[in-house]
Structure 1
């Protein structure tokens, strides 16, 4: 599953529906139920009907399976996937916050800020 930004640029993917990698093969975060955590255990957001939403419920990224949400742009071609790096050890997960109601707006949070790069 590939995830795209609000301009339709492919940014990251998952092959196993758990670990998220950028196209250079760097591990970004992982999924646990419908929550997204970084490898330090910080809660980043949620996966909701193919959308990744932030703590305000605004939409950050969408997948091919995304339904509802804001208007989705045309998708750009996916780059070739790089060799995956070794995944870091997962830290203790912080307490999951209450999931917000998904909005029909795009988030202002950038890719780098969301993944704390």
Structure 2
């Protein structure tokens, strides 16, 4: 599964459907049910219909099979994937806050900043 930003740039991918990596090979997050967490345990957002939503439940990244959400840009050519780094140990997960209403406008962190929020 590969995810793209609001400019159509390839941002991250999941080789196993569980863990997320930047194209540089840096492990940046993982899925837990419908939630997305950083390895430090911070809630980053949610996954729904092929979209990664931010902490405010606004669309940030989309997969090739995403449905709904804002108009998607034309995707750029994907870079070559670098060798993946070793994943860090997962920390205790943050208790998720109440999920806000899903937004339709792009997130302010609709790129690799998604993993730094």
Query: Does residue 46 of structure 1 match 2:55?
Result: no
Runs (5+) with no aligned partner, structure 1: none
**TM-score, normalised relative to structure 1:** 0.93
Counterparts of 1:34 and 1:15 in 2: how far apart (Å)?
A: 17
Runs (5+) with no aligned partner, structure 2: none
Q: Is the 8 A contact 2:6 2:111 kept in 1?
A: no
**TM-score, normalised relative to structure 2:** 0.93
Counterparts of 1:87 and 1:58 in 2: how far apart (Å)?
A: 27
Aligned length: 117
Q: Is the 8 A contact 1:69 1:102 kept in 2?
A: no
Counterparts of 2:70 and 2:113 in 1: how far apart (Å)?
A: 21
Q: Is the 8 A contact 1:4 1:10 kept in 2?
A: yes
* 3-state secondary structure, aligned to 2:116: coil
Q: Is the 8 A contact 2:10 2:78 kept in 1?
A: yes
Counterparts of 2:11 and 2:92 in 1: how far apart (Å)?
A: 26
Quickly say closer, same or farther: Cα 1:106–1:28, change in 2 above 3 A.
Answer: same
RMSD (CA atoms): 1.4
Q: Is the 8 A contact 1:13 1:22 kept in 2?
A: yes
Moved over 6 A (4+): none
